[in-house]
Structure 1
Amino acid sequence: MVYSVVVAGASRGLGFEYVNFLSKDSANIVIGLYRSPSTASKLLQLANESSNVHAIQADVGKVSDIQAAVEQATRILDGKLDLLINNAFYAGEPAKFCAPLHTRSAKELEADLHAAFQVNTVGPILAANLFLPLLRAGRTKKIMNISTLAADTDVVLRAPLIEPVYSITKAAVNMATVAMTVGGLREEGFTILAVSPGVSNTNPPDAADAPLDPQIASDTKKIYENLRAAYPDWDGAADAPEKTVRMTLDVMNKATPAQSGRFVSHFGVESEQWL
């Protein structure tokens, strides 16, 4: 049985891993949306080598780009889409990613917030709206909005994750997930979840094609230390990307419309475990 999936933000990282994993089943048709060819070399190569993978250039922060992507996807998928994965995200300057809000200039912060909201919050909402006709025609009617444990207030208060702009915009995605659900889509049979993928090693030390920025490496180390201190049962190891993909897809596969609207972890809809 054919399973059709669109992954928004598939250039690299977890987005690419979704496309790569799902494409291994030849019955699946997977479309990856990417913003720039310069960062999508692996996706473009996979699409070139795999008949069931298609790469479409689209900036999810732009309505015109998503509309054009929907038109192409409609032809590729014969008008039917089973799962939309909203994964695109904006992190901003590495040096400022973890900077406290009060340490930044108002002008710089305003620009960063606008850019982040456009991609991290507005993008998933627009993608869901514009792909809705295809999802309505699909069998499963599912939308997975990739969130983060850094968007959970209890987690951040226990283990300061110091990713303010990213966390704020992802928390908004969680509420957008609720808004999509209670607006009537649950009654149509839709299952819409905001899912935290936990801590995934999408940029291993030997990733020569995308070496980790020194500032990001430093900030990540501090975040890990904070999480270890707050959650001593966590071993401090990031999950392999394929494990993260398997777990989050399993969450979506098992979820039902009655559970729609929730912000959950990769451990399951009923789990209260984040790490």
Structure 2
Amino acid sequence: MSSWVITGVSRGLGFEFIRQLSENPSNTVFGLVRDKAAVEAKVAAEIGRDNIHIIQADTTDPLALEKATQYVSERTNGTLDYVIANAALQAKTALVGFDALSRNPKTLEQDAIDHFRINTLGAVHLFNAFIPLILKGHAKKLIAISSGMSDPEMTLKADIHQATSYAMSKAALNMAVAKFSAVYREKETEEEGQLAMAMFGKFKQYSPTFEGPVKPEDSARSVLALINKATVDGGYAGVFLSHTESKPYL
């Protein structure tokens, strides 16, 4: 059983995500939208599955996301497996470039702010809201839907001068995802280290001479020496024993 939170599910890719994921009855799918009633009616008419939950929440509203997190948590026992940040703004300015937008600097600035707020900060707020549940889930995956338009190489090779604000906001989204990965990968490594130290402490209690894992080359040498030494008549046949030939095993 997997649980999913997906934004921007009112149409297009987002709607297809919930349609396909809900085909598995063991999945629980939560879709975050700005117009709950309209999307619920569409889901009922075109999909009609009870493992889909539509939640009213704008990703740029941290308070709404907090309520959405609580709703999800109550239905998943405080865990979550996947988050897909799919919601995005691509305004009419997608068809023009800086040459046209520069005619009205205030319009250009507002266009960039709107795109950044929804396409970048919206995903950041979304991830921050649901990470406490994700860290308790099985898959622990955060996914952001970006775009090739955010790639400078594609822009330069094809001379794509349009969709400036959209492309910049998606490039910023890519960096945000990298930053999330850096901080939580480090935390997971630290947590694993703490768990390992706790386990090694128990090993030390069991065997006071234990000084940590043996190097692979030393371990292999010890096991091979035992294999060479062992004979059926010597009492080695069919028995379980340590490379030390005695207890404790460490």
What is the CA-CA distance between 1:59 and the residue it aligns to? 0.7
In 2, the alpha carbon distance for the partners of 1:77 and 1:107 equals: 45
Q: Give aligned-pair identity as a percent.
A: 31
Higher-helix-fraction structure: 2
User: 1:97 and 2:94 equivalent?
Assistant: yes
**CA radius of gyration, larger in:** 2
The answer for the alignment partner of 2:32 in structure 1 is 33
The one-letter code matched in structure 1 to 2:188 is E
* 1:47 and 1:53 in contact (8 A); partners too: no
In 2, the alpha carbon distance for the partners of 1:122 and 1:182 equals: 18
Matched residue pairs, number?
Answer: 186
The answer for the alignment partner of 2:181 in structure 1 is 181
Distance 1:30 1:186, change over 3 A: farther
In 2, the alpha carbon distance for the partners of 1:159 and 1:39 equals: 39
Distance 1:167 1:80, change over 3 A: same
Say which SS state the counterpart of residue 95 (structure 2) adopts.
Answer: coil
Distance 1:83 1:47, change over 3 A: farther
Give TM-score, length-normalised by structure 1.
0.63
In 1, the alpha carbon distance for the partners of 2:185 and 2:131 equals: 10
The answer for the alignment partner of 1:106 in structure 2 is 105
* 2:9 and 2:87 in contact (8 A); partners too: yes
In 1, the alpha carbon distance for the partners of 2:114 and 2:139 equals: 32
The answer for the alignment partner of 1:11 in structure 2 is 10
The answer for the alignment partner of 2:44 in structure 1 is 45
What is the CA-CA distance between 1:138 and the residue it aligns to? 0.3
Structure 1 portions without partners, runs of 5+: 190-275
In 2, the alpha carbon distance for the partners of 1:80 and 1:47 equals: 28
What is the CA-CA distance between 1:44 and the residue it aligns to? 3.9
In 1, the alpha carbon distance for the partners of 2:3 and 2:15 equals: 16
Structure 2 portions without partners, runs of 5+: 190-250
* 2:36 and 2:54 in contact (8 A); partners too: no
User: 1:24 and 2:2 equivalent?
Assistant: no
The answer for the alignment partner of 2:82 in structure 1 is 83
Alignment of 1:1-275 (within 5 A): 2-37=1-36, 40=39, 43-45=42-44, 49-92=48-91, 94=92, 96-104=93-101, 105-161=104-160, 162-185=162-185, 187-188=187-188
What is the CA-CA distance between 1:4 and the residue it aligns to? 0.5
What is the CA-CA distance between 1:97 and the residue it aligns to? 1.7
Q: Deviations over 1:218-259 (max 9, x none)?
A: xxxxxxxxxxxxxxxxxxxxxxxxxxxxxxxxxxxxxxxxxx
Say which SS state the counterpart of residue 138 (structure 2) adopts.
Answer: coil
In 2, the alpha carbon distance for the partners of 1:118 and 1:56 equals: 20
Say which SS state the counterpart of residue 137 (structure 1) adopts.
Answer: coil
